[in-house]
Amino acid sequence: MWLRYLINVTIFIMHKTTTPHKKDQASLNGPSEKTIKRLLHYSKSIRVLKMPDGKMEVVNPN
């Protein structure tokens, strides 16, 4: 449970630091592919689903 919270906070912080000029757009579209790839590099337990509308969804299988 705490791991999911940690991942969400990490994504939120990475969004604020990587896309400050597009923060409204970023929050609407969810995590960017670059952010997800960076997260996947550090944690092998995270799975990413590409939604039908093109948005990315981070899923923790635990």
Q: What pLDDT is recorded for position 8?
A: 78
Cα–Cα distances (Å) from 55 to 1, 2, 3, 10, 23, in that order, read 23, 24, 22, 18, 16
Any idea where the domains of the chain sit in the sequence?
2-59
Output the pTM of the full model.
Answer: 0.24
Task: Report, in angstroms and rounded to the nearest whole number, the Rg of the chain calculated over CA atoms.
Answer: 11
pLDDT digit string (tens) for the chain, length 62 residues: 677 777 777 777 666 555 545 544 545 556 667 777 776 666 655 566 666 666 666 666 55
Cα–Cα distances (Å) from 30 to 5, 46, 49, in that order, read 15, 16, 12
Q: What pLDDT is recorded for position 7?
A: 77
